[in-house]
Structure 1
Amino acid sequence: MRDQKVQTVTQVNVSNHKRKIGIIGGTFNPIHNGHLFIAEQVRSQLGLEKVYFMPDFIPPHVDHKEAIDATDRTNMVNVAINDNDDFDIEMIEIINQTTSYTYNTMIELNRIHPDYEYYFIIGGDMVEYLPKWYKVDELFKLTHFVGVRRENYPMTTKYPVIWVDVPKLDISSTMVRKLVKNRQSIRYLVPDAVAKYIKEHNLYE
């Protein structure tokens, strides 16, 4: 039987006075309302001071993932979160312009912000891949991991993941790109400002 270390929202205890900061990383190709909804739910449930959206420069996925230029992806994140003071953008991986390994990023972020206590938000489908992450055991010493529960994915893991329940929004960046390519509406799937940016810059066509 696999080890199971599951923390619920009510079991989260902070033993210091550091600022509780969420991080949600990704390619954001493009950012959509599902990303924003998850970030807001986790922020609210865990009492985070702020959630930072962290676009990656070169995602270290096993499967090659086509992504548009980082400038456009970053600009879309900025227009998407512009009206929410609880959201911000973390540009460290874009600035470094290297393959985005979370371990290296979190070392640098903890050095820059020693007063922050980080909560790294991932989907429940990504939890089972944690053993494959670069230096994952050391990574858990640098940040808390928050897993967003998803149907058909187990909550069993040997790592101390904090699980949260978030109502399901079945939206993906792949879906948005496909709709744009087929000249179909993406209204209510992405913020209006993102839809406008995509149209004005002829993205994904």
Structure 2
Amino acid sequence: MKKIGLLGGTFNPPHIAHLIMANEVADQLGLDEVRFMPNAVPPHKIKQGDATAEERLEMTRLAIVDNPRFKLEPFEIERGGVSYTFETMTLLMQREADVMFYFIIGGDSIDALGTWYHIDELMKIVHFVGVQRPGFFGETTYDVELVEAPLIDLSSTIIRERLQTGKTVRYLLPEAVEQYIREEGLYGTR
């Protein structure tokens, strides 16, 4: 059975902490691949001035292009609408019945699992893998396999704020992603 990690998120923009987290989980759990899956309309966070779904999809593609173990999963963006993990995983499992999915989450999501849509049903159909994140406890009563990874206190919010104020983002996200952001004038870079 193929072992596939799924790293969902807004990827607004994708940055090195996303890449490190996916790489550590893939290596430690022996996953065949990790798919990066940007949300269409995230249920928890959407703000004026954010990149469009298509721009986030392209930035994610650029971020992972040099790692053959990383793949882009456009499922939620192609499906459209609000993205709930339970619905997505039910459909993905119907599409790929011969796959064991490992859903990768950070410490902030571990802390909030109890608020997820149909979490009890979701826990029965997918294996959750958690990676600690600075500033969050990463604790839950739900069954989450914890993987250790280098802790980097970085978020897409920090990157957007730095871009908006003209501060450097060098080494915080892949060069191709930064170049795309500047070419497209995203996050106030015009």
Same fold (TM over 0.5): yes
**Cα distance in 2 for residues equivalent to 1:33 and 1:157:** 26
Question: How far has the Cα of 1:179 moved from its partner?
Answer: 1.1
Extract unaligned runs of 5+ from structure 2: none
Aligned to 2:16: 33
Partner-residue secondary structure (3-state), 2:90: helix
Question: How far has the Cα of 1:126 moved from its partner?
Answer: 1.5
* Structure with max Cα Rg: 1
Aligned to 1:126: 109
Aligned to 1:160: 143
Tell me if structure 1 keeps the 8 A contact 2:53–2:77.
Answer: yes
Partner-residue secondary structure (3-state), 1:128: helix
202 and 152 in structure 1: CA distance in 2 versus 1, 3 angstrom threshold: closer
Matched, 1:77 2:72: no
Matched, 1:117 2:100: yes
Aligned to 1:95: 78
Which deviates more from structure 2 when the two are superposed, residues 121-130 or residues 106-115?
Answer: 121-130
Q: TM-score, normalised by structure 2?
A: 0.94
Tell me if structure 1 keeps the 8 A contact 2:38–2:76.
Answer: yes
Tell me if structure 1 keeps the 8 A contact 2:132–2:138.
Answer: yes
Task: Report the residue type matching 2:5 in the other structure.
Answer: G
Question: How far has the Cα of 1:152 moved from its partner?
Answer: 5.4
% identical aligned pairs: 45
201 and 40 in structure 1: CA distance in 2 versus 1, 3 angstrom threshold: same
**Cα distance in 1 for residues equivalent to 2:10 and 2:135:** 24
Aligned to 1:135: 118
Tell me if structure 1 keeps the 8 A contact 2:37–2:76.
Answer: yes
Which structure exhibits the higher relative contact order, with contacts defined as CA atoms closer than 8 Å and separated by 6 or more residues? 1
1:55 aligned to which of 35, 38, 61: 38
**Cα distance in 2 for residues equivalent to 1:158 and 1:187:** 38
Cα RMSD, aligned residues only = 1.4
| Structure with the bigger percentage of helix | 2
Partner-residue secondary structure (3-state), 1:93: helix
Q: TM-score, normalised by structure 1?
A: 0.87
Extract unaligned runs of 5+ from structure 1: 1-17
Task: Report the residue type matching 1:132 in the other structure.
Answer: T
Partner-residue secondary structure (3-state), 1:129: helix
Aligned residues: 187
